[in-house]
Amino acid sequence: MTDSDALPPERPRDGELEELRRRVSELESARHEPKHRMRALGSSLLIILASLLALLAVVAVWANSIVRDTDRYVATMAPLASNPDIQKAVTNRVTDAVLQRVDVNGLVKELSDAAAQKGVPPRIATLVGNLDGPIENGLKQLVSNTVMRVVSSSAFETAWTNANRRAHSAVDKALTGSSDSVVQLKDNEVAIDVGPIVAQVKQRLVDSGLAVASKIPTVHTDFVVVEGKDVGKIKSYMRVLEIVGNWLPVIAVLIAAAGVFLAVHRRRALIGAAIGVFLAMVLLGVALTVFRAVYLDHLPPGTNSAAAGAVYDALVRFLRSSVRAVGALALVTAIGAFFVGPSRGAVFTRRFFSRSIGAGRDASVSAGLRLGPVGRFVHRFKKWIGVAILAVAAIVLFTWSYPTMAVVVWTALIVLVAFAIREFLDPGPSGAPGAAV
């Protein structure tokens, strides 16, 4: 046996071992590359589909709430009663309705006859007969001022809110074009009958001394809430969205979960899904703004565009709120998924907060804090406690009737505080400071 035969084989150095591992990893990746590509493609398609469905789901839930939730509908329409543009539009509509039923010529004739009976000279009686124009203008100003006082009063706000609450049962029929109630859809218009307001104005005119107003018959006149040539199409779309409104959000979540589960890198897929939903909400927000401009540009001639814009803003107010809430939830999810990852920034952030909380815990233990069985329990079930915190947060958000962006942000902050408390109560292994205590 030679000396060379007796020597053990030379062990590979660390650099060579790392190179071997890299080559083995490349070979394994090359072997599974077609399969990984198919999974990545399927995951991407599912995530894109889920993002688009999330957009439709937000619109569907909003449409469903407007049609089926009376409180939601009233909360949507009630602010319009105090909107100056709406008050002005209602004033003009009611004023025209009243003046159309006041016989100005008959009023002038009554004045002329009264002047003749009083023995007024014929020339003056003739002048009275020629006052139909000034009388009409003065009457219009009187009626307009009276209507404005009625419309700008708190009583009108109450009457408007109560009327919308009573009328909500007809909204569903209005959107399908089969209503003959207070809310109607005809000639591509969604209109509200303001006849009760005319009745109040009539009574006030009589009380102010205008006896001729008592002859105004019962008036049913419409104040148009939404009008346009596409209302007929929109009502059909909203009917479809109402039907799928309860299921579309669940379907979107399930498809997104399937896309994440199918992905090779699930954490990255979760970030991608969250960003996809966030971008869908941004797209929906931009679409609402663009559609507002298009809608106002295509109003029929003579329509009060300021009032129409106020109505549009009121109708989509809760839709915009839902867009912000879902966008905030998606953004929080993406940020959370990033900070649990292996990137340097995520690792540094986790270590920084963990060490800071640990330093505070050690200082508290040194000052006499006793963690005892609580600390041992938290350390043993730390992972499951984290799962429970996230599950409770998810249940809160999914069972909240109409979560806003504030609800999402506060829920995220509470989750962070809960994880910080969990970290504080965890004394670590038995040898860590405070564990024995």
Is it the case that residue 17 has pLDDT exceeding 80? no
Confidence band, pLDDT 50/70/90 cuts, at residue 112 = low
Burial of 253 (0-12, 13-18, 19+ CB in 10 A): middle
Contact 267, 340 (CB under 8 A): yes
Q: What is the pLDDT of residue 161?
A: 80
Q: Considering only 83-92, 256-265, 377-386, which range has the smallest mean pLDDT?
A: 83-92
Contact (Cβ atoms closer than 8 angstroms) between residue 92 and residue 303: no
For range 175-180, the mean pLDDT: 49
Model confidence pLDDT, tens digit, residues 302-341: 777 888 888 888 888 889 999 999 999 999 999 999 998 8
Query: Which structure tokens are listed for 188?
Result: 């591509």
Distance of alpha carbon 388 from alpha carbon 394, whole angstroms:
10
Q: Please give the Cα distance from 72 to 74 (Å, whole number).
A: 6
The average confidence (pLDDT) of the chain is: 76
Residue 435: per-residue pLDDT? 43
Query: CA angle 301-305-308, nearest 5°?
Result: 115
pLDDT of residue 286: 95
Q: Dump the DSSP string for 235-270.
A: HHHHHHHHHHTTTHHHHHHHHHHHHHHHSSSHHHHH
Closest CA to 62 of 237, 238, 313, 251: 238
Q: Measure the CA–CA gap between 87 and 437, rounded to whole angstroms.
A: 71
* Residue 89 confidence (pLDDT) above 70: yes
249 or 65: which carries more pLDDT confidence?
249
Q: How confident is the model at residue 436 (pLDDT cuts 50, 70, 90)?
A: very low
Could you tell me which of 85, 213, 218, 91 has the C-alpha nearest to residue 144?
Answer: 91
Contact present, 156 and 86 (Cβ < 8 Å):
no
Q: Give the residue carrying structure tokens 């002859």.
A: 215
Mean pLDDT of 140-157: 78
pLDDT tens string 356-401: 998 888 888 888 888 888 888 988 899 999 999 999 999 998 888 8
